[in-house]
C-alpha cells in the first residue's frame, strides 16, 4: 500500500510518519538510528550528553549505515543556579548508594553538561537533515543559522502555549509530548506540573491552533497508537519506549529485561535522577529519594551528581539504581529488530485508517 | 453510512458506540439522556446523589422522552471513617466561604449519601437497560440480581488490574477512565495517584488482556477522539465534558461559560470538594484549599460538608466556589444540541476510520 504523504513525510522525505525518539544515555545507537531510517522512518541520535567530537564521530558512523535523513537531538541549555548547600546535601544523600556500588566518595563534576554552542556547531557543520531539541527554544540567531544550512528544526512542546511559542520562534515542526511519555518532560513554559496533558487531549488542541506540522509522542507503542495519533490530527508520531527493547537499542540488558515486566501503574514521575521531572519505572532509588525531592539541586546539577551511580548500576546490572525511563505504554514493549517493528506497525495502521 | 456493530452497540442495541457519561449534580437532565438516546447513542442518568424516589421519577420522565435504552449510574459505597477532629477542622476551613456566600454556620449533615441498597432497589424495579457504576464493584448478590433482571452492568476501571477485577466479578462491560477525564477518578484498587494513566496508553493494554467489551473515557471531545479510541481497541467511548456545554445539559450557565474559556493546563486534580481525587478547572476554592488537602476528611464526608457551598455558588453564579469538573480536552467544548453533536462526531469518524 502506498502511504499518503503527511506534512511530516513530505517535509523531510521519509516514507512513514514515524520518528524514533532521541533517548539519551546511549540508547540511540548508530545501528538503531540507521535501522529506523532504512525502514522508512526517521531515526534520531540523542546527542544532549555527547561532546562535540563524539557527535561528529557518531554522525559519521550513522552515515556509513544509511544514506537516508536522520535527526540529531540536543538539550536547550537552562540557567544553572548553583547552590553549594543543596549540592552538599545531595552528596550526603547519594554517598550510601556510591558505597553500595563500590564507588569512591564523589568529587563535584567540573562541568555539568557539554557546551551547547560547540555541540550545535558540530551539527551545523555536519548539516544533518533534522535538528530536534527539547527543554526550550534555540536563540533567534541559532534558528537562523540552522535554516540557512537547510536543517529542519523540530522542538518539543508539552502544552498548547509552548507549541505557540515554538511556532512563533520560526521552528519548522513540533513534537507534542503527552504525559504518558517516558523520560524527561520537555516543559519549558510554566511549572512542570502544568505540562502533564494526556496525548489524546493534547493533539486535537494543537490541530485546531498550530499551522506547522506536529507529531504526537507519549504512550504510543504500536500501530494502534499511530493510527490514533493520525486520527487525532497529528502529522506523525515519535516513539521512544517502543524502541527501547528492540535488537539495535543500546539499553543495558537489565533495563530491557525489567521493561518487559513493567505495567502502566509501575511508572512514576520523579526528579531524583536529574533534578528535572521524568517518567521512570519505580525502583529503590526513586522510592528512597522521594522524601527529599524538594531539597535536591535542579537540572542538570543533580543529573551530573548521579551520573557515576547510574553508570555503575548499568555496568553491574543493578536496575534498582538506574534511571529506568519508561512510557506508561511500556507493557507493550517488543524485542524484535527495529525494522520489523516498523513493518508490523505500518501493517496495523493500514488496517485501521481510511485515507 | 451503516456503522459496523462493535461489542458495545451489539450488546445494548444502539446505533453508535457513544455513551454520554453520567455527571452527577444535575448535569444529566432527562432531556440530555433522551436526546443522546434518540440520536443513537447511550445516555446516562447520574443517580449517585439522588434519593430512590427521585431516581424512580427521573427514570419515568426519561421514558416519556425516549423508548431507547439508557443507563443509570450509582456510586459503589465505600467505608466512611468518621474523624470528628478532621470534620471540625474542615468546618473551620469552610466557614469563611459560607459567610462569603451568605450561608449560616453549618450543621453536620445527618447522612452523607443516599442509601445505596435503596437506590439499587429502585433501579432493579425499574429494570433500566444498563446499570453503570464507579468507585468499586457491587457485591456478588447485587451483580446476580442485576443479571437476573436482564440489566447490563458496566463498571469503571482506571488501570488494568481494576479491569481484571471487574471482569472476574462478572460485570458485563467496562469504562476505562484515562487521567484526562473530568470529575472524580474511579480508582478503587491501590492509591488514587496510581490510577493516573493516559487514555492512549490504557486502551491497548485492556485490548490485549480483557475479553469483555470496554469503552474509552478521558479527553475524548469529538470524532477525532472517538476514531482514536476505536483504533486503539475500544468498543466505544464515554464522553462527559463534551456534553457539558450542550443545550440539554443541566450545567449552570456560569459553569458552561467558564468551560468554554478553559485550557488544557487550567485543569487540575483536587480533593478539596469531596475528599476524593477529581479533575476540575482551577479556581479560588481549589487554590486556597490546596495546602490543607491532606487534612481534609475523606469521601463522601468532605463532599457533604461542601454541598451547600457548591449549591449556593451555582445559584449565585460564583464559579470560584463551584466544582468545575472538566476534562483536559475542555477547550473543545461546543454549545450545540446533543443530537447535533453526535451527528457531527459520527460524520468525522466516518472520514477517518477504515471498516
C-alpha cell at B93: 476551613
Residues 6+ apart with CB under 8 A from A49: A24, A25, A113, A114
Best of A265, A326, A327, A334 to substitute, by most chain B Cβ atoms within 10 angstroms, is: A265
Which of A160, A138, A163 lies closest to A151 in space, CA to CA?
Answer: A138
Q: How far apart, in whole angstroms, are the C-alpha atoms of residue B29 and residue B79?
A: 29
Query: Which DSSP helix (H) or strand (E) runs through B285?
Result: helix B284-289
A239 interface with B at CB cutoff 8 Å = no
Residues A338, A342, A343, A344: is their CA dihedral positive or negative?
positive
Q: How far apart, in whole angstroms, are the C-alpha atoms of residue B226 and residue B231?
A: 9
Residue B195: its chain A contacts at CB < 8 A?
Answer: 265
* pLDDT given for residue A262 in this prediction: 87
Best of A176, A191, A200 to substitute, by most chain B Cβ atoms within 10 angstroms, is: A200
A198 interface with B at CB cutoff 8 Å = yes
* pLDDT given for residue B105 in this prediction: 85
Given a contact cutoff of 8 angstroms between Cβ atoms, the answer to whether A17 and A353 are in contact is no
Domains annotated for chain B, with CATH where assigned, are 1-77+113-257+328-355 (3.20.20.70), 81-112+263-325 (no CATH)
Q: How far apart, in whole angstroms, are the C-alpha atoms of residue A156 and residue A48?
A: 14
* pLDDT given for residue A2 in this prediction: 66
State the angle between helix axes of B223-232 and A199-209 in degrees (0 to 180), rounded to the nearest 10. Answer: 140
* pLDDT given for residue B155 in this prediction: 98
- Bridge partner residues of A217 (DSSP): A177, A238
Question: In which band, very low, low, confident or very high, does the pLDDT at B110 lie, cut at 50, 70 and 90?
Answer: confident
Given a contact cutoff of 8 angstroms between Cβ atoms, the answer to whether A101 and A309 are in contact is yes
Query: For residue B287, how far is the Cα from the chain centroid?
Result: 23
Query: For residue B87, how far is the Cα from the chain centroid?
Result: 26
Residue B353: its chain A contacts at CB < 8 A?
Answer: 231, 352-354
Residues 6+ apart with CB under 8 A from B196: B158, B179, B185, B269
CA atoms within 13 A on the CB side of B353: 24
Q: How far apart, in whole angstroms, are the C-alpha atoms of residue A284 and residue A303?
A: 17
Q: What are phi and psi of A22, to 5 degrees?
A: -70, 125
**Torsion on CA atoms B14, B20, B22, B23, rounded to nearest 10:** -170
Q: How far apart, in whole angstroms, are the C-alpha atoms of residue B93 and residue B292?
A: 9
User: What Cα–Cα distance (Å) separates residue B208 from each residue in A19, B154, B162?
Assistant: 24, 19, 15
Question: In which band, very low, low, confident or very high, does the pLDDT at B106 lie, cut at 50, 70 and 90?
Answer: confident
Residues A200, A204, A206, A207: is their CA dihedral positive or negative?
positive
C-alpha cell at B5: 456493530
Q: How far apart, in whole angstroms, are the C-alpha atoms of residue A50 and residue B157?
A: 43
* pLDDT given for residue B1 in this prediction: 54
Which of A45, A21, A47, A62 lies closest to A115 in space, CA to CA?
Answer: A47
Mean pLDDT, residues B271-286 taken together: 97
- pLDDT by position in tens, chain A (length 355): 568 889 999 999 999 999 999 999 999 999 999 999 999 999 999 999 999 999 999 999 999 999 999 999 999 999 888 889 999 999 999 999 999 999 998 877 778 999 999 999 999 999 999 999 999 999 999 999 999 999 999 999 999 999 999 999 999 999 999 999 999 999 999 999 999 999 999 999 999 999 999 999 999 999 999 999 999 999 999 999 999 999 999 999 999 999 988 898 999 999 999 999 999 999 999 999 999 999 999 999 999 999 999 999 999 999 999 999 999 999 999 999 999 999 999 999 999 998 6
Which of A61, A205, A97, A187 lies closest to A135 in space, CA to CA?
Answer: A187
Is pLDDT of B35 > 60?
yes
Pairing state between β A237-239 and B44-46: unpaired
B304 interface with A at CB cutoff 8 Å = no
B262 interface with A at CB cutoff 8 Å = no
Is pLDDT of B76 > 90?
yes
Which of B327, B164, B152, B310 lies closest to B239 in space, CA to CA?
Answer: B327
* pLDDT given for residue A1 in this prediction: 54
* pLDDT given for residue A303 in this prediction: 96
B130 interface with A at CB cutoff 8 Å = no
Best of B182, B185, B194, B228 to substitute, by most chain A Cβ atoms within 10 angstroms, is: B228
* pLDDT given for residue A110 in this prediction: 77
* pLDDT given for residue B79 in this prediction: 85
pTM of the model: 0.97
Tens digit of pLDDT for each residue in B298-339? 999 999 999 999 999 999 999 999 999 999 999 999 999 999
Pairing state between β B278-281 and A130-134: unpaired
Pairing state between β A214-217 and A173-177: parallel
SS3 content of chain B, % helix, strand, coil (to 5): 45, 15, 40
The answer to whether the bond into B165 is cis (omega within 30° of 0) is no
The answer to whether the bond into A300 is cis (omega within 30° of 0) is yes
With CB atoms and an 8 Å threshold, state whether A264 touches B159: yes
Amino acid at each position: 500500500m502506498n502511504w499518503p504523504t503527511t506534512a511530516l513525510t513530505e517535509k523531510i522525505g521519509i516514507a512513514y510518519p514515524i520518528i524514533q525518539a532521541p533517548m539519551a544515555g546511549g540508547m540511540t545507537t548508530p545501528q538503531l538510528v540507521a535501522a529506523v531510517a532504512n525502514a522508512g522512518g526517521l531515526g534520531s541520535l540523542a546527542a544532549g550528553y555527547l561532546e562535540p567530537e563524539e557527535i561528529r564521530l557518531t554522525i559519521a558512523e550513522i552515515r556509513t549505515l544509511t544514506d537516508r535523513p536522520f535527526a540529531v537531538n540536543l538539550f536547550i541549555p537552562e540557567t544553572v543556579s548553583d547552590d553549594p548547600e543543596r549540592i552538599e546535601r545531595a552528596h550526603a544523600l547519594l554517598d550510601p548508594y556510591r558505597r553500595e556500588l563500590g564507588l569512591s566518595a564523589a568529587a563535584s563534576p567540573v562541568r555539568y553538561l557539554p557546551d551547547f554552542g560547540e555541540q550545535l556547531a558540530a551539527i551545523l557543520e555536519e548539516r544533518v537533515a533534522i535538528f530536534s531539541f527539547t527543554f526550550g527554544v534555540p536563540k533567534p540567531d541559532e534558528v537562523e543559522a540552522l535554516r540557512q544550512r537547510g536543517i529542519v528544526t523540530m522542538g518539543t512542546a508539552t502544552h498548547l502555549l509552548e507549541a505557540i511559542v515554538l511556532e512563533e520562534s520560526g521552528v519548522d515542526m513540533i513534537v507534542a509530548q503527552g504525559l504518558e511519555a517516558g523520560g524527561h518532560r520537555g516543559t519549558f513554559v510554566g511549572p512542570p506540573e502544568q505540562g502533564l496533558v494526556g496525548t489524546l487531549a493534547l493533539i486535537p488542541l494543537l490541530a485546531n491552533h498550530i499551522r506547522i506540522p506536529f507529531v504526537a509522542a507519549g504512550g504510543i507503542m504500536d500501530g494502534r497508537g499511530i493510527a490514533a495519533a493520525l486520527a487525532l490530527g497529528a502529522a506523525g508520531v515519535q516513539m521512544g519506549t517502543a524502541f527501547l527493547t528492540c535488537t539495535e537499542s543500546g539499553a543495558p540488558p537489565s533495563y530491557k529485561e525489567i521493561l518487559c515486566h513493567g505495567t502502566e501503574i509501575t511508572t512514576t514521575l520523579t526528579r531524583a535522577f536529574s533534578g528535572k521531572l521524568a517518567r521512570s519505572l519505580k525502583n529503590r532509588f526513586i522510592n528512597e529519594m522521594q522524601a527529599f525531592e524538594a531539597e535536591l539541586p535542579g537540572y542538570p546539577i543533580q543529573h551530573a551528581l548521579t551520573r557515576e551511580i547510574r553508570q555503575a548500576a548499568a555496568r553491574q546490572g543493578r536496575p534498582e539504581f538506574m534511571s529506568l525511563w519508561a512510557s506508561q505504554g511500556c507493557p507493550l514493549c517488543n524485542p524484535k529488530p527495529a525494522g520489523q517493528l516498523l513493518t508490523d506497525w505500518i501493517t496495523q495502521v493500514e488496517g485501521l485508517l481510511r485515507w
